[in-house]
Structures are given as C-alpha cells and as structure tokens.
Amino acid sequence: MPRHRSWAEPFRIKVVEPIHLLSRAERTEAMARAGYNTFLLRSDDVFIDLLTDSGTSAMSDYQWAGMMLGDEAYAGSRNFYHLEDAVRTHYGYRHMVPTHQGRGAEHILSQILIKPGDHVPGNMYFTTTRLHQELAGGTFHDVIIDEAHDPTSTHPFKGNVDLGKLERLVDEVGAEHVPYVSVAATVNMAGGQPISMANMRAVREYCRGKGIRVILDATRAVENAYFIKVREPGWSDRSVAEILKEFCSLSDGCTMSGKKDALVNIGGWLALNDDDLFDEARNLVVVYEGLHTYGGMAGRDMEAMARGIEESVQEDHIRARIGQVEYLGRHLIDEGVPIVLPIGGHAIFLDAKRFYPQIPQDEFPAQTLAAELYVDSGVRAMERGIVSAGRNSTTGDHNYPKLELVRLTLPRRVYTQAHMDVTWESVAELYEKRDQVRGLRMVYEPKYLRFFQARFERL
Ligand code: F0G
C-alpha cells in the first residue's frame, strides 16, 4: 500500500482577521437574544462562521491589486469590459449585464421570460430563484430525480433532472406555457449536488425539440465542473475550465451570483445568447440595477470579479476548495453523524431528521440543531429545512420538505484545517448528547423568505 500523502492549500496567508470565542454563558445569551435564528446573531459573537459561502470568501492579492484599478466612470468602465471578457472566455455566453448580486439577475430574467400562468420546471428550488419566478406570475415545479430528496442515496449526480417528470409536466401544461427550464449547477438545497454533463445534454436535446429555453443558475458551476471531472466517465483528462465552458454551451443563458465561485464579496450577472432577449435585459437592468455597464456594481468590484473568475477555474484552487469540504465531511462520517451523501461542493449538510428524530418537523429540528451548535462552540450554521421552505401560497400551511438539514457552509480560502477540527468535534459531541434536546416554537414570522428574520422560543 502506498503511504497516504496529504495535500495543502495552494496559498499562504498574508493578512489575518482576528476572531473571538465568547464564553458558553455569553453564547447562550446571544442565541436567545437572536430568537434562535443564526441569521440574527451579530457577526462579532460568532467564532467560526459557516452560515454561508456567499460573499464570505477571501480575495487574493491579485484581486486586491485589481481593486485599485477601479474605473468608476458612470458609463463604459474599463473594468466592465474586463468582466465581459472573463465571462465570454470562461462561461462562453455572448452577452452579459452585471447585477448587484444573483437575485438581481433572477429578477430581471423572470420579468423578461415569465408571463402570469406560466410554469417553470427546475432541479429543486433555490429560495430567491423560486420567489422571483412566483412574483412574475409563474409556478415552480420540482423535476429533480427522486434520489435528491433522499439524504442516504449515494447517486453521484443527485442534481440531475428527471426527464420523465419534465416530459409529463410539459405534456400537461403545454410547451407554450413553459418559458424555460431552470437548471442549477450545483444544487444548493439538495446538498451541493452536481448535475452530470450527460443529463444536461439530455435536457438540452429534449428542450430543443419542444422550443423551450434552458437557463442555468451558474452560481456554483465551477464546482459542478470539478465533480464532472472526478465523477463522470470520460472527463478526467479535461480541464475544469474546458468542462465549464462545454457545460454552459448547453444552455441559452445564465444567472450568476458572483459571491460564490467567482470569489468576490458582492456582485453577479445575467448572461444571454439571444440578441433580442439581451436587448430587453439591458433595458430592464437600467430600471432596477444601474446602467448596463455597471448594473449596481462599482468598477473596482467588477475588476475583482473578473479576476476572481480567472482564479476560480484553476485546478489547484478548485481541488483544494472541495478537498476541504471533503475533509470536514469525512470526519463527520467517521463519527457516525448523519449527513447528506455524497459530500457536496460547498457545504456539509447535517440530516436533522435523523439527528433529532424525537423532534417533529413543525418543531423545527434543523433550526434547533443550528442553535445548539452555536451555543456549543460558537460555530454558525444555517437551517435548510421547513423554515427555509416557507408556506404553500394556496393553502397557507408550511411546506414540509423531505430534507430537513443544517448547512455547514465553507467560505473559500478563509478557514484552516484546525477550524474544521473544532467544527466536527463539536457536532460529534452534540450527536452524543442528542436525546436530551427539544424543539422550538416560532413566535415571529415575516411574509417573504421567512428564514432570514423569523424568531423562535425554546419549547
Ligand atoms: N442561486 C443559488 C444556487 C444560490 O445559492 C444563491 C444564493 C442565489 C442564487 C442568489 O444569489 O445571494 O447573490 O442574490 N445563495 C446564498 C446561500 C444566499 O447562502 O446559499 P445572491
């Protein structure tokens, strides 16, 4: 047997930001003050922040140097042209407009393409994506494969579209009422699970026959490309950059939150191949975001994003990024902690239904687990279960998602292996003490995207 050899991050640390661990009594107090909602904690009260990988990554010296080259002209900033070039080179779309972040692109896309009464199939939902589709008058339909809803299934591409489900929906509502298929790569709510190149191609071919567009949520498409390289037969010799471009070529456009793969703290874009559609997008962006050459971003931020895109497709970067997620996940698996399998791209998802089987779903097991984790070790995670799923717009009852998860999300290039050790040790100890824990009661519920601001009390 060859000796096991470790890998290491392809960077060294040049600037540090101090973080502090409050006492257990202070953490208990802080969690109660935040209504048992980790979104309502103050960042200063958090030790290791795994709430999200969105806008929380560390920029490189190359990106920071680019910030000084910001051209803050109202129109025609040179940084816009650099960004446009980076999107064309690495994602391959013909046209793009910058937006302040991903949901800005989702808003514009939904307004352009969706008419009231339309139906939008997608491979599971993302919160903001679905809400913009609904606000434009559309109805979202989940057409992901069944395996995606089973945290124990080890299917390598749980983000795949179930073509049978897609076909049945289109037959039922009529292709003329399906403006596009919304494909996310990777699928955040399923556990950061990828979609295969073969499946994407099959979706593309089916949609072409029906005259339906395919729109990609490219937020974590680089991570998806890495999974294609390591999991899908026939791709191991191709670069992540090549795979990304080929994958995107199977869609008509994309929405993008640059705050993830693209290694920036703010920004996004909407890309489209069709000239007429792009004309409409360029028109609407002026109303909601800003002129089409800045779309709600400062010149310096567009420069950082252009450079972040270049860095995001480098092989050693993406291998280390997903390698760190795997490191955390492996330790949790070894401790017997129930997590979503296989290990996904941006996060480890704890399966709260199996962690706290004694807590019924409407007493919020995942919300409870996220609160317990913060109190135990100052680690901040995010609920991705019944609170995130919201209510049914017709009946007003909770949506009861099959997946009741807590997401430990890893910012890129921010935390070390020691931070990962502190995290899995805390989760493992909570799992040992799981029998003593009871759920929560919701005492305040906002109307939209309730998970951000809802408040709870201990039962
Ligand atoms: N699509 C996906 C797959 C996302 O994960 C997000 C954001 C968005 C779109 C919206 O982008 O935040 O820039 O407006 N996800 C964050 C998260 C919030 O924590 O997963 P945005």
Kindly report the protein residue whose alpha carbon is nearest to atom 21 of ligand 1. 102
Residue 381: φ, ψ to 5°: -120, -175
Catalytic residue, chosen from 127, 129, 255, 423, is 127
Kindly report the protein residue whose alpha carbon is nearest to atom 16 of ligand 1. 54
- Contact 99/301 with Cβ under 8 angstroms? no
Residue 317: φ, ψ to 5°: -60, -55
- Contact 52/382 with Cβ under 8 angstroms? yes
Residue 393 confidence (pLDDT): 80
Average pLDDT over residues 293-316: 98
Residue 2 confidence (pLDDT): 87
88 — pLDDT class (breaks 50, 70, 90): very high
Q: Six-digit token pair at 148?
A: 């995606």
* % of the chain beyond a pLDDT of 90: 97
Rounded Cα–Cα distance for residues 91 and 251 (Å): 11
Catalytic residue, chosen from 180, 278, 451, 456, is 451
Average pLDDT over residues 264-286: 97
421 — pLDDT class (breaks 50, 70, 90): very high
- Choose the weakest-confidence range: 87-101, 248-262, 264-278, 389-403: 389-403
3-class DSSP state for residue 418? helix
Q: Is 47 exposed, middle or buried (0-12, 13-18, 19+ CB in 10 A)?
A: middle
pTM, entire model: 0.96
Q: Is 11 labeled as catalytic in the residue annotation?
A: no
Atom of ligand 1 nearest to the CA of 188: 3
Residue 47 confidence (pLDDT): 98
| Average pLDDT in the chain | 97
Catalytic residue, chosen from 49, 118, 217, 252, is 217
432 — pLDDT class (breaks 50, 70, 90): very high
Q: How many other CB atoms sit within 10 Å of the CB of residue 149? A: 15
- Listed residue (76, 145, 135) closest to 292, CA to CA: 76
Give per-residue pLDDT as tens, 53-83. 999 999 999 999 999 999 999 999 999 999 9
On the question of pLDDT at 125 being above 90, the answer is no
Place of tokens 């000084």: 68
Distance from residue 286's CA to the centre of ligand 1 (Å): 22
Rounded Cα–Cα distance for residues 37 and 46 (Å): 13
Distance from residue 127's CA to the centre of ligand 1 (Å): 8
3-class DSSP state for residue 196? coil
Q: Six-digit token pair at 177?
A: 């009422």
Distance from residue 397's CA to the centre of ligand 1 (Å): 25
User: Which domains does the chain possess?
Assistant: 24-53+315-458 (3.90.1150.10), 61-312 (3.40.640.10)
- Contact 355/42 with Cβ under 8 angstroms? no
Distance from residue 257's CA to the centre of ligand 1 (Å): 6
Kindly report the protein residue whose alpha carbon is nearest to atom 15 of ligand 1. 54
- Listed residue (127, 117, 156, 162) closest to 142, CA to CA: 162
Instruction: Among 125, 128, 195, say which to mutate for ligand 1: greatest number of ligand atoms within 8 Å of CB.
Output: 128
Catalytic residue, chosen from 62, 74, 448, 452, is 74
Residue 394 confidence (pLDDT): 87
Q: Cα 354 to chain center, whole Å?
A: 23
Q: Is 1 exposed, middle or buried (0-12, 13-18, 19+ CB in 10 A)?
A: exposed
Give per-residue pLDDT as tens, 126-166. 989 999 999 999 999 999 999 999 999 999 999 999 999 99
Residues with CB under 6 A from ligand 1: 52, 54, 101-103, 126, 128-129, 184, 188, 217, 219, 257, 259, 268
On the question of pLDDT at 279 being above 90, the answer is yes
Average pLDDT over residues 228-235: 98
Catalytic residue, chosen from 260, 300, 321, 353, is 260
Q: Looking at the DSSP assignment, which residues form a beta bridge with residue 119?
A: 139
1 — pLDDT class (breaks 50, 70, 90): confident
Average pLDDT over residues 420-433: 98
Radius of gyration of the chain from its Cα atoms, rounded to whole angstroms: 21
Rounded Cα–Cα distance for residues 168 and 166 (Å): 6
Distance from residue 338's CA to the centre of ligand 1 (Å): 25
Average pLDDT over residues 208-222: 98
